[in-house]
Structure 1
Amino acid sequence: MTIPTTQCSVQIQIWVDTNAIQNGSTRGVYLVDNRVTSGGQNEGSANLVTSCTQDSYVCWQILTVDPNASASVQIQSIGSSNAWGPSGQPQVASDNPNAFTGQAQNPGSSSYQLSINVTAGGGSGTTVILNPGMNVQAISRRTAA
């Protein structure tokens, strides 16, 4: 079962300047999240490190910097990572085919591979691979005495 975007407390947006993307370069790709006050790093770069707490639901959405651009952008895949745990692997959201959602289950710092497609107005496409990170903070759990 996939997670709807409306259940995500962690939001990551991928902004793409389609005029700057050439031959798989990450120039012109900017990742931002709503976690900067929680210890996130590299906001506004292709190397964003998102900080969240264990069991957080995470949503990724992709947008073009120029809403009038004739190019289209799409998340192709989000790779495996220790952060996702046994059942948190991000996949296409149940309520938005242009978003991915997942769950940060394992504490620690991990990177993951984010693959995006950029298709120019003329139909030629480019795949860009990013390697952002996720810093998952453990939740203290008390056991009953």
Structure 2
Amino acid sequence: MSNAMVLISQNRKPNLRAPIVQTAVTIALDTKYLISQPPGTNSRGIYMFDNRVNNGSSNEGGLELSTVCNAGDIMSFEVIAINELMGGSADTVKITGFNVSQGNVFGGSEGAPIPYHLPGTSPGAYWLAQAVNAGQQVYQIFVEITSSGLHPIVRDITWDPYITAK
């Protein structure tokens, strides 16, 4: 997401605008691959990147992204299915939650990630958070993948990237 303001679409007055996002994290999921793997084996097929490489972010392109943002930044997390239209399928992905295992960058409930319906995205695909405190944090992100087809397969995956706020 760019720094452009976006209209809030649900349960809000139409003249209110979403906060400006300074740090954007995008997660592309190879849904066909991840669904084909046994549960708990998700070391490949997850591609994370952000807009903070000039700030020191590293490990882009894998699942152990180390985002470096500024304390106070509004952060977005967006998941996309990279095989969404392959072969006529329409696999879906959504974030189902976050858990902080170490550190306090989100500042507990004060900056905790929350779902946000961004126009043009599916429900659960986009979340907002705030880097409230300077420091380092390890967090888990929980994602649900649902395959398309007559008998959809649902796969829950989780992994633990990093955030440093300076």
Corresponding residue for residue 99 of structure 1: 126
Which residue number in structure 1 is paired with residue 96 of structure 2?
A: 76
Higher relative contact order (Cα pairs below 8 Å, separated by 6+ residues)? 1
Q: 1:107 to 1:93 in 2, by over 3 A?
A: same
Contact persistence 1:92–1:100 (CA under 8 A): yes
Q: Is 1:50 matched up with 2:63?
A: no
Which residue in the other structure is 1:85 paired with?
107
Aligned to 2:20: 7
User: Is 1:136 matched with 2:156?
Assistant: no
How far did residue 109 of structure 1 move? 1.1
How many aligned residue pairs are there?
A: 134
Return 68-77 or 27-36, whichever deviates more.
68-77
SS at match of 1:40: coil
Residue 83 (structure 1) shift: 1.0
Residue 14 of structure 1 aligns with an amino acid whose one-letter code is I
CA distance in 1, matches of 2:27, 2:33: 14
1:25 alignment partner, one of 33, 41, 44: 41
TM-score computed with the length of structure 2 as normaliser: 0.75
Task: Check 1:132–1:123 CA distance in 2 against 1; reply closer, same or farther (3 A cut).
Answer: same
- The 1:74–1:5 alpha-carbon spacing in structure 2 relative to 1, beyond 3 Å, is farther
Q: CA deviation at 1:66?
A: 2.1
CA distance in 1, matches of 2:19, 2:45: 28
Q: Percent identity?
A: 25
The runs of 4+ residues in structure 1 deviating greater than 4 Å are none
SS at match of 1:7: coil
Alignment match, 2:9: none
Q: Which runs of 5+ in 2 are unaligned?
A: 1-16
TM-score (normalizing by structure 1):
0.85
Structure 1 gaps of 5+ residues are 138-145
Displacement of 1:19 in angstroms is 1.5
CA distance, structure 1, for counterparts of residue 24 and residue 82 of structure 2:
17
Which amino acid in structure 2 is aligned with residue 92 of structure 1? P
2:141 is the counterpart of 1:118: no
